[in-house]
Structure 1
């Protein structure tokens, strides 16, 4: 019996013994994909806690698994918390991918390899009809929509995920361990399809350092703002936070504005707008909302929409700029709700017609989708919204979008509270794009 007692005593200590084993610091984790904006390419990003080589081995699904190999670089990221935790962010760009081809891959080095994942290279044709999942405000605690998104992503329902700001709540917490845990959570989505992002207010700690270091978006602005093309859409990601965190530099606000102006000018060149007629923007804080949380789009006019007059020089807003260049759809989050607006400009509704408001609308269409799930719970709505508010829901959930062709775009809202029920949907139909569409 003493022998049995010793066994049970040893088994009782087993969890402690396991916990005392140090992790493998060269083992890849937090694997995620992003699109570079260049056809035939993809970036694989992951984290280790010791420096190792950065290698992705990959091949066609059904072929030899790892017949191709690409190398990249690792960047040291030192979190600014008290512990000054160090991690290495690895980035490898895969080039020469065949459009629509399915690939299998793993990443790492001889010091450790990731699990095996797969992805489909994006179709670079302007006639492609891409499918998106889109949402903001997904946290490490209470990420309610995550399980459904995991299943749907692995079923092949989406070509791209758009995360419209606010990650983990917050990535810097517990000396960035919450950021690590969140990135592990979304690996089950982001390792399979490009995970495209923009910053939100919850990323502001240490000048957005966790966001800027962990993600790998196109361009050279540390993922703060950028644009890319997919199907018949030109998609612009921007930082609304430059209007609020002026301590990090007012020049960022003006740099982004000038970049946006040039990007929109280029997208509106006749040959470009003919090929990519839809212009879609994504930014965290909305220009309009009807939540009852005393935020900047209810307590006072949105800085993002109208700019700021308390800066020197005054900071321009984005509503007039987007209207002038014929932006079609504007995607937002931040409010922990779903809200669909009628076509709106200057606080006024400009429906296409009473019967068909989204057929040839005379102003941009705004969607707010910030209820994916976080510890702050969903918001309440103002009981008396303005006339531009068309549909509202406080259910946890996320949105889907498909850009079908040059004239038709589909949007719908999924309620996770109602077991994946589609609770709202619209078709946006446009025979003309650009500023002439408003006339």
Structure 2
């Protein structure tokens, strides 16, 4: 029995019968994301037939406002040409520190009521994020705990660092549909911010690009968003590995990333968002026995294209003073000492994460999927803590100087198995940074409108 038919038989849907044919107009797979800023929310959902219009009714305490959006026909690249309609509506200029209720759909069928809370417009706001990668439709072990904590109001947003469903295109994209229904109990209530992983590659990442709505448009692999004191940059590490789609995406992303880092480092911007955080799927360093990355000394994300060593990320992120780097892909959790070019640059022996002299990195790819866990091999001197328990990471930004991170083990019933404070009295380029000052000056003038 297909996933689509099973869903029809087990979930109440709105149906029309015309000439004996069944039409599926009911909204499903509802999820939200930030738009251009945190007071703009994009609501995305699917139907299996064209509803002619896409509407969200919403308000603070009641459905008093109405916003219309667009829909797009998405045909999966598989043999069955699985077709659905992806609807997007953007809610702009939302009131800070307010709880909105909403439902989405059309006159042919409406979703259940959902709610989300906007951030306060205060400099002392302390955003709390849940972070993980590599969650599948099968064996999504961390999902129940994340659902519970979402409903308790523990988080302000989710960062899903690549690899969804295993895979979104499986069974002619029906596994993708099932996975999007699974995460609705999180993603319909919290901005669900994503980046692509290697498991999204099929048909040129089309299932990822069409299903998720990120800043800079649904077709973009890269974006940045300011969340309180955090400037979060999302990139695709896959442009280094799937060169069959051409080198242009890699070059364009590198140029865009450098421009974004320069803007983030302008004094007026870094004062408001002192913490620069980059997330991408494949790590630069790892020490488990995954032979496609961890056994390679020079990962492509770190040093750049094979043979030529162009467009490597490590130098770029170091030169522009990135504070924290978040990766996944490895089905384990690993926290590193502050590191650059395989050299540890701890703040001090007693307090390694207080004013570190290089970016701090961790990998969190153990949310749970059908491929199971990755086992660890030898422990290198740059690896600080490792766990292959299923679980996820929490990050809380307390202020401009203190971040707190902790790793939750679902195997151990929610026990925190690792935690640390990242403390920085000042933010900016590291001691050996080599910034492109000509480009910095050019972007500064452009930013100032000169």
Name the TM-score class by shorter chain: over 0.9
Provide the aligned length of Structure 1 versus Structure 2.
417
Using structure 2 for the length normalisation, give the TM-score: 0.90
Aligned with 2:24: secondary structure?
coil
Select which of 365, 369, 385 maps to 2:364. 369
Structure-2 separation of matches of 1:207 and 1:58: 35
Structure-1 separation of matches of 2:251 and 2:121: 32
Equivalent in the alignment of 2:314? 319
Structure-2 separation of matches of 1:297 and 1:100: 43
For 1:356-395, list aligned pairs within 5 A: 356-382=351-377, 384-395=378-389
Equivalent in the alignment of 1:410? 404
Cα displacement (A) at 1:437: 6.6
For 1:80-91, list aligned pairs within 5 A: 80-91=77-88
Q: What do the CA deviations read for 1:346-375 (whole angstroms, capped 9, x no partner)? A: 101100011100000111000100000000
Structure-2 separation of matches of 1:437 and 1:431: 15
Consecutive unaligned residues of structure 2, counting only runs of 5 or more, are: 1-5, 16-20, 434-450
- Contact 1:352 1:361 survives alignment (8 Å): yes
For 1:244-263, list aligned pairs within 5 A: 244-263=241-260
Equivalent in the alignment of 1:43? 42
Equivalent in the alignment of 2:120? 123
Structure-1 separation of matches of 2:217 and 2:65: 27
Consecutive unaligned residues of structure 1, counting only runs of 5 or more, are: 1-14
Cα displacement (A) at 1:127: 3.0
Structure-2 separation of matches of 1:139 and 1:436: 38
For 1:40-439, list aligned pairs within 5 A: 40-52=39-51, 53-61=53-61, 65-220=62-217, 222-310=219-307, 315-382=310-377, 384-436=378-430
Structure-1 separation of matches of 2:22 and 2:164: 25
Question: Which stretch of structure 1 is more off in the superposition, 417-426 or 114-123?
Answer: 114-123
CA RMSD of aligned residues (A): 1.7
Structure-2 separation of matches of 1:30 and 1:118: 15
Structure-1 separation of matches of 2:189 and 2:211: 17
Structure-2 separation of matches of 1:346 and 1:124: 39
- Contact 1:133 1:401 survives alignment (8 Å): yes
- Contact 1:41 1:121 survives alignment (8 Å): no
Aligned with 1:372: secondary structure?
coil
- Contact 1:198 1:223 survives alignment (8 Å): no
Cα displacement (A) at 1:39: 4.3
Cα displacement (A) at 1:24: 4.9
The structure that has the greater radius of gyration is 1
Structure-1 separation of matches of 2:429 and 2:301: 20
Structure-2 separation of matches of 1:94 and 1:301: 44
Cα displacement (A) at 1:37: 2.8
Cα displacement (A) at 1:123: 3.2
Structure-2 change in CA distance of 1:245 and 1:305 (3 Å): same
Q: What do the CA deviations read for 1:121-163 (whole angstroms, capped 9, x no partner)? A: 1334443211000000000000000000000001000000000
Cα displacement (A) at 1:293: 1.7
Structure-1 separation of matches of 2:59 and 2:322: 39
Q: What do the CA deviations read for 1:294-334 (whole angstroms, capped 9, x no partner)? A: 122323411000112436xx531100000000000000000
Aligned with 1:293: secondary structure?
coil
Structure-2 change in CA distance of 1:76 and 1:386 (3 Å): same
Structure-2 separation of matches of 1:285 and 1:205: 17
- Contact 1:254 1:315 survives alignment (8 Å): no
Cα displacement (A) at 1:96: 2.0
Aligned with 1:435: secondary structure?
coil
Structure-1 separation of matches of 2:321 and 2:34: 25
Structure-2 change in CA distance of 1:18 and 1:194 (3 Å): closer
- Contact 2:300 2:306 survives alignment (8 Å): no
Structure-2 separation of matches of 1:343 and 1:254: 27
Q: What do the CA deviations read for 1:37-71 (whole angstroms, capped 9, x no partner)? A: 3242100000001111110001113xxx2111111
Structure-2 change in CA distance of 1:39 and 1:137 (3 Å): closer
Structure-2 separation of matches of 1:242 and 1:344: 24
Equivalent in the alignment of 2:436? none
Structure-2 separation of matches of 1:415 and 1:438: 37
